[in-house]
Amino acid sequence: MPTIILLDVSLSMTKPVQIEDSLETVTRKQLAEVGICAFLDHLSIHSKLEFISLMAFSSLYEERCPFTRDYNVIKAELKNIEDYDKTCIETALHGVNQMVLGEWGNNTACQVLLVTDGNTGLGSNSLKESLATLSQRSAKLPFPVPFSFPGKLHIVCLTTPSDSNFVKSKPLYQRLIDLTGSDGSILIPDNLHSESSVIGLFQKLADDMYTTFKGTLKCGNMESKIVLSPAPVPYTQVTDFESTTTIISDLIEVCGFISVSDVGSPMAVSRHLILPASSPVKAASPKKQEKPSGELEIIDDDATDEARIPSFCVLLHGAIRVENVAALVNIGENWFGFVYSWADSKKKSNLMLTILTPGSDAIPWLGDLNHLGSADSFSPEQVGGFPVKPLEKRSYSQNGVVWIKQAGLQSDIQKILRHARKLPEKTQQFYKELNRLRKAAISLGFLDLLNGLAYIFEQECLQLPGTAHPDCALQLQHAAEVLRKKQNPDIKYVVMPLKTNYNSS
């Protein structure tokens, strides 16, 4: 799960702290650097596949390091951050939203680690003032929390429990965490004057944030200890009258194999990388254990050639990759998933696990997963392909447009803009998506969307680079003018491309 480290670099972070049993005096910012380095060291050992980024903030924010797995880059950047002015947490959280949406989109769960001294700022930019004016926010400038993505907020305050600033700030921090809609935490070190206490706090936080899932992948009599990255979280299903939470089992058992083309792309809860768990340290054979000193010779895993050790994960990965099949696995009571080979490049592929929604009917075209059987048990006439087509003929050719959340509408608009930036090559696709969105807006009575889209097109015209094709500005301006005309309520009207010298042929 990607993580953004938000480091407060305001003047209050320069307060000196006397270290116990030492004449050395450090600032709270230096203590934060020590703790963040310990946090990264813990991840490099236990969760080295996680993406981490660093952002510094005071009254403004600055992205100091983009998402990376090279934690040494973040450590080096920590030493180059200067001190700035006053604290403004709201501005920093706006930066977090922009950074995550630009890198991961609005569907990827991320964690935010805010490291500060317990001071929430002064004046109109303080957290107290920001929370007091929540009801007065406009739609154009909303409060950054809840995040635009599934996010969890952890706040580390380098202060003492009796500090008057922290006593006043703690309820504000808790309200900020409550607004995220997820279980966050507020942490302070047991002893601010001890570096070991600060290091222990960050190490414990890293252990809590990134719990490692260790289980067993089994198929018949063969099995292998595995680690899932990132660790799966319990799935909570909320209905009208109850809420049910399902936890994944430690035993992932293969039920059978099915063609990848038959599986298709079902709705998934999460996807995880399957890694073989490292074997424990082994003692040497009895003959080699006898040494003149009477000590046992211990063989380290690092000295063992892992390529010579049989692994069921390697066998399964090679088999399903060659046969182009996926393994249907049982991950809990009436809960299923698929194990398959996924290639991120031509030379490297990985063994992945896709977790479906709980229930045996998670894939409609396969039917009840508990009733799947081997094709060998049926005659060739009885065996058909997937998906199974219904006997009745549907009265529609494609799915209608549905906007349940703001993210869905934003995605449709961004798709149109992507085609717009590639005009005139994408002229046909641009007008196809534009008419699709226009028809849906009129059907729902959402006429303000058309005026808003016209305004967006006009702004895009003003921001086009000098290298843009001339037809791009002409088509955008034409589309904006058509959307503002009086025939907007006519659902049968189709917006046609503007004939220009660039596309008349």
Q: What is the pLDDT of residue 301?
A: 46
Q: What is the pLDDT of residue 70?
A: 94
Confidence of residue 153 (pLDDT cuts 50, 70, 90): very high
Q: What is the pLDDT of residue 384?
A: 64
Does residue 42 contact residue 3 with C-beta atoms inside 8 Å? no
At 331, phi and psi to the nearest 5?
Answer: -115, 5
Using DSSP's 3-state secondary structure scheme, residue 39 falls into helix
CA distance 195 to 240: 50
Confidence of residue 72 (pLDDT cuts 50, 70, 90): very high
* Prior bond of 230 cis (ω within 30°): yes
Which tokens sit at 254?
A: 């293969």
Does residue 52 contact residue 67 with C-beta atoms inside 8 Å? yes
Does residue 223 contact residue 216 with C-beta atoms inside 8 Å? yes
**Nearest CA-CA partner of 93 in 23, 173, 21:** 173
Residue 368 contacts by C-beta under 8 Å, 6 or more apart in sequence? 360, 361
Query: What is the pLDDT averaged over residues 408-416?
Result: 87
Query: What is the pLDDT averaged over residues 470-499?
Result: 82
Q: What is the pLDDT of residue 426?
A: 86
* Prior bond of 424 cis (ω within 30°): yes
Q: What is the pLDDT of residue 156?
A: 96
Q: What CATH topology corresponds to 217-279+306-377?
A: Ku70; Chain: A; Domain 2 (2.40.290)
CA distance 17 to 24: 9
Q: What percent of the chain has pLDDT over 90?
A: 42
Q: What is the pLDDT of residue 140?
A: 76
Structural domain boundaries in the chain: 3-209, 217-279+306-377, 406-484
Least confident stretch, 276-280, 292-296, 421-425, 455-459 = 292-296
Q: What is the pLDDT of residues 117-135, one digit of tens each?
A: 999 988 888 999 999 988 8
Higher pLDDT among residues 68 and 460, named by residue: 68
Q: What is the pLDDT of residue 398?
A: 54
Q: What is the pLDDT of residue 386?
A: 65
Per-residue DSSP letters for 123-189?
A: GGGSHHHHHHTGGG--SSS--S-S-SSSEEEEEEE-S-TT-HHHHHHHHHHHHHHHHHTS--EEE--
Q: Is the predicted pLDDT of residue 329 greater than 90, yes or no?
A: yes
Does residue 15 contact residue 117 with C-beta atoms inside 8 Å? yes
Confidence of residue 502 (pLDDT cuts 50, 70, 90): low
**Nearest CA-CA partner of 213 in 248, 255, 237:** 248
Q: What is the pLDDT of residue 286?
A: 41
Q: Is the predicted pLDDT of residue 139 greater than 80, yes or no?
A: no
Using DSSP's 3-state secondary structure scheme, residue 342 falls into strand
Q: What is the pLDDT of residues 19-37, one digit of tens each?
A: 887 778 999 999 999 999 9
* Mean of the per-residue pLDDT values of the chain: 84
Confidence of residue 335 (pLDDT cuts 50, 70, 90): very high
Residue 45 contacts by C-beta under 8 Å, 6 or more apart in sequence? none
Does residue 6 contact residue 114 with C-beta atoms inside 8 Å? yes
CA distance 409 to 419: 16
Q: What is the pLDDT of residue 47?
A: 83
282-to-289, 293, 299, 314, 412 alpha-carbon distances in Å = 12, 20, 6, 22, 56
Which tokens sit at 19?
A: 């270290």
Query: What is the pLDDT averaged over residues 162-178?
Result: 93
Class level of CATH domain 3-209: alpha beta
CA distance 259 to 238: 32
Q: What percent of the chain has pLDDT over 70?
A: 88
Query: What is the pLDDT averaged over residues 16-21?
Result: 87
Query: What is the pLDDT averaged over residues 370-389?
Result: 71
